[in-house]
């Protein structure tokens, strides 16, 4: 895994090249080939001497992601991609297409940062499979490069990345931020920081560390409940970092960065889609620069809860909006192809 070329920053590529007696400018050519031309094999790097291409092929892997399966939704707008890693573990990436009228279509990659997850959220398929290992920064970045390459072949461009797939991104903080920095590099994919969203279940020390980065990367919090008793029953991490600590960290982030915090809320019928929870949420987030995304629960085999109804979702949204809290109801995507994070890979990692 450490020999994956996507694990390297430009300076590290340059250091390797100079140790081989190659000029420093070759590093920029390699970087451009990886992230601008989206080349996937050393043979494609025709800007390099043949001898150097052979050296690169010998010293580095140009992919850790072996495509195993692609599931396409019936409307063609959601692709669930299963990759096999060199150690036989499986991860998944979701590519979502949003056709827009009178402007460029939006294409969003939802990427993984870990094989499995240690957070144990009760309704999440990834949490149900447990933690296997962290992904390297290169394995995280390569998922985005793969999606960008697929879209480029169709004359399209990747517009957004959400770090919201398998795993807890802030549990793998350095690798996650390292991958985004490479993808954000002006000589690379050159994707602006605001095109990235990192979603966390609420690792408070990591949120405070992220606040100090003063980044323009978007922050999303998987909240799902507005009181400690209910949230702890759904997200065990709440026992370690209860709501008052989490909200305090989010308020500090919004205050210091002037960036809005998005709160994710999976609506479970009769559990957290009630008027009581809506009013508690209004009170919890009052005065914060915040937006709430609600989505009916994606069902998983090991969680008995059911998705809320459209009527209950609209009622929940109405309470928030009436009290000045912006709220969007998101459509569930790819239910029939197991597009909820961890649903496909969970069956592969046994």
More confident residue, 298 or 345: 298
Of 18, 159, 227, residue with least CA distance to 30: 18
Q: Is the pLDDT of residue 125 over 90?
A: no
Query: Distance between CA 182 and CA 104 in Å, rounded?
Result: 24
pLDDT score, position 171: 98
Residue of 193, 95, 97 whose CA lies nearest to 145: 95
Count of CB atoms situated within 10 Å of the CB of 212: 11
19-25: list long-range contacts, CB under 8 Å, 24+ apart: 20/52, 20/55, 22/52
Question: 66-347: which CATH topology?
Answer: TIM Barrel (3.20.20)
Active site residue 341: yes
How does pLDDT run across 28-77, given as a tens digit for each residue? 999 999 999 999 999 999 999 999 999 999 999 999 999 999 999 999 99
From-to residues of CATH 1.10.150.530 in the chain: 5-59
CATH 1.10.150.530 fits 5-59, yes or no: yes
Q: In which band, very low, low, confident or very high, does the pLDDT at 333 lie, cut at 50, 70 and 90?
A: low
The stretch 173-189 carries a mean pLDDT of 94
Residue intervals in the chain for CATH 3.20.20.70: 66-347
pLDDT of residue 187: 84
Residue 45 near residue 54, CB atoms below 8 Å: no
Task: Name the active-site residue from 14, 92, 139, 142.
Answer: 92
pLDDT of residue 103: 74
Q: For this structure, is 213 an active site residue? A: no
Q: What is the pLDDT of residues 268-303, one digit of tens each?
A: 999 999 999 999 999 999 999 999 999 999 877 778
Check 110, 117, 327, 341 and give the catalytic one.
341
- Taking a C-beta distance cutoff of 8 angstroms, is the pair 142, 109 a contact? no
With a CB cutoff of 8 Å and minimum separation 6, the contacts of 155 are none
DSSP one-letter code for 105: P
């Amino acid at each position: 895994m450490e020999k994956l070329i996507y694990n390297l920053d430009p300076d590290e590529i340059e250091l390797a090249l100079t140790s081989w007696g190659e000029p420093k400018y070759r590093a920029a050519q390699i970087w451009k080939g990886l992230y601008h031309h989206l080349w996937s094999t050393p043979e494609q790097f025709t800007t390099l001497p043949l001898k150097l291409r052979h050296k690169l092929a010998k010293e580095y892997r140009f992919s850790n992601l072996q495509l195993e399966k692609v599931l396409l939704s019936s409307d063609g707008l959601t692709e669930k991609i299963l990759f096999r890693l060199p150690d036989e573990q499986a991860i998944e990436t979701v590519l979502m297409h949003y056709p827009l009228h009178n402007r460029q279509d939006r294409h969003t990659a939802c990427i993984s940062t870990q094989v499995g997850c240690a957070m144990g959220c009760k309704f999440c398929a990834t949490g149900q499979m447990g933690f296997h290992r962290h992904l390297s920064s290169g394995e995280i970045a390569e998922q985005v490069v793969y999606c960008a390459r697929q879209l480029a072949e169709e004359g399209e461009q990747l517009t957004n990345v959400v770090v919201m797939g398998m795993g807890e991104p802030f549990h793998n903080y350095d690798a996650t931020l390292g991958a985004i920095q490479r993808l954000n590099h002006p000589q690379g994919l050159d994707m602006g920081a605001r095109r990235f969203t990192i979603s966390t279940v609420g690792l408070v020390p990591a949120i405070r560390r992220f606040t100090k980065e003063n980044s323009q990367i978007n922050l999303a919090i998987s909240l799902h409940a507005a009181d400690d008793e209910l949230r702890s029953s759904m997200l065990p991490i709440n026992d370690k970092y209860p709501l008052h600590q989490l909200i305090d960290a989010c308020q500090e982030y919004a205050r210091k960065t002037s960036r809005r915090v998005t709160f994710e809320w999976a609506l479970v019928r009769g559990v957290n889609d009630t008027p009581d929870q809506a009013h508690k949420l209004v009170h919890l987030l009052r005065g914060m620069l915040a937006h709430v995304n609600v989505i009916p629960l994606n069902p998983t085999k090991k969680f008995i809860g059911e998705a809320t109804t459209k009527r209950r979702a609209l009622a929940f949204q109405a309470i928030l909006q009436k009290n000045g809290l912006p709220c969007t109801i998101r459509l569930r995507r790819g239910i029939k192809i197991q597009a909820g994070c961890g649903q496909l890979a969970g069956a592969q990692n046994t």
